[in-house]
Amino acid sequence: MLFGSFLLEWIQTVLILTGYVSGNASFPKPLSNEEEQKFIKMYADGDENAKNILIEHNLRLVAHIAKKYSDEKNLEDIISIGTIGLIKGINTFNPKKNSKLSTYISRCIENEVLMFLRSTKKLSNEVSIDESIGTDKEGNNMTFSDILTGDETDISDIISGKIEANKLYNAMSKVLNKNEINIICWRYGLCNQRKKTQKEIADILGISRSYVSRIEKKCLERLAEEMKE
């Protein structure tokens, strides 16, 4: 489940990426190795702007992987899920332990997408998290399960998560109506709901998938603005 600062970061990244995919703007060029190392170090030292630069200059990876696993009907679903993997990849990358940043991020994005597709039974008999994805720089075999983040959480993280969850739900109640809240909860597994695709929500509400997409985007924009404040 996405809460607090991660949710805001994710919303903003989804909106930026959707704009690149649906518009004519070209993606930012990949960083040079020297630039990448500089921003990785800056982020490790606590510079959040460096993190944003690393995210923006790796957006093309989400688009590339999303197009690989999607069709015209579920592209936006895959993009939103892939963006979670992108942010997780930036958050968990360790230059002392992991391979090249783009390689690690790609694995995180692809892992997130495959988990989503498995949950919707589209690849239920085709993909395993124990499937080999190559080797690390030491030559050890790696699987998707190797890059899943751990579940180590202390009490401060739990308390912080609950506080941020309340902030999110308060923001939703302020800027969204009942139907919009339902759509966001269904789309992203909030409010104890199972994640649903845009097509599933469209069938429930008796509207088109494209209309669900427009509502979702407007809701995310309003939530992003409200949570900034």
Domain CATH number, residue 128:
1.10.1740.10
Instruction: Verify that 105 and 211 share a domain, yes or no.
Output: no
DSSP 8-state assignment for residue 145: G
Q: Which domain holds residue 95?
A: 4-147
pLDDT for residue 163 is more than 60: no
89 class by beta-carbon count within 10 Å (0-12 exposed, 13-18 middle, 19+ buried): buried
Task: Report the distance separating Cα 105 and Cα 4, nearest Å.
Answer: 22
Task: Report the distance separating Cα 89 and Cα 4, nearest Å.
Answer: 18
Percentage of residues of the chain with pLDDT beyond 90: 14
Domain CATH number, residue 169:
1.10.10.10
Mean pLDDT in residue range 88-114: 87
Instruction: Verify that 26 and 126 share a domain, yes or no.
Output: yes
Using one digit for the tens of pLDDT, what is the confidence trace for 35-55? 999 999 999 898 888 988 898
Q: Which value, in Å, is the radius of gyration of the alpha carbons in the chain? A: 18
**In which element (H, E) is residue 199 found?**
helix 198-205
Using one digit for the tens of pLDDT, what is the confidence trace for 2-26? 444 566 666 667 666 666 555 555 6
Instruction: Verify that 142 and 203 share a domain, yes or no.
Output: no
Instruction: Verify that 63 and 133 share a domain, yes or no.
Output: yes
